[in-house]
Amino acid sequence: MSKRILISALAAAGLASMAFSSHAATVGGSVDVQTTLTAACEISASGAAIDFGSVVALASSGNKAANSGSGFQVACSTGLSPTIYSATTREMDDGATHTLAFNLCLSACTGSNDLASAALSADTLSITQNGSLQTVALHGRILAANFKALPAGSYAKTVTVNVDY
């Protein structure tokens, strides 16, 4: 009889211990997590335009200047040395045979600071390199000497601006 009681007591203790523990054992494994970050730059030019407005084609009108406002933006990763240039010819045309030369600059175009026209002579692009878009104001200037002898009409040009990094 004492064997039966002992076996019954052991069985009851085993069931009781199982009721308090839902896990009999734990096993673990490892998972490798990795990525490779690649440095890059991007341009957002949505809505970017340099609009000189309406210009009276007289030498007395003086030089005309305008800028792109906040429509031209560049984002670069940390640690890059971005440069900027435009290989596009700096002449607007009227769709016929008349062309109107202009300057394209990173500052107010007050001197001979025209934006470089080739990658080898590209200008350093000084922006915060944190991966977020930064506004880069592009400035344009038309010298009065360039428009005073031209016929009235609309003159336009699409300019490609490149950022190398």
With tokens 């000084």, the residue in question is 126
Q: Which of 52-61, 129-138, 152-161 has the lowest mean pLDDT?
A: 52-61
Q: What is the pLDDT of residue 10?
A: 45
Give the predicted TM-score (pTM) of the model. Answer: 0.77
What rounded mean pLDDT belongs to the chain? Answer: 88
Give the pLDDT band (50/70/90) at residue 60.
Answer: confident
Greater model confidence, 60 or 134: 134
Q: What percent of the chain has pLDDT over 70?
A: 87
Q: What is the pLDDT of residue 112?
A: 72
**pLDDT digits 0-9 by tens, 119-140:** 999 999 999 999 999 999 999 9
Domains and CATH numbers, the chain: 41-164 (2.60.40)
**pLDDT digits 0-9 by tens, 5-38:** 544 444 555 545 555 556 789 999 999 999 999 9
Greater model confidence, 8 or 41: 41
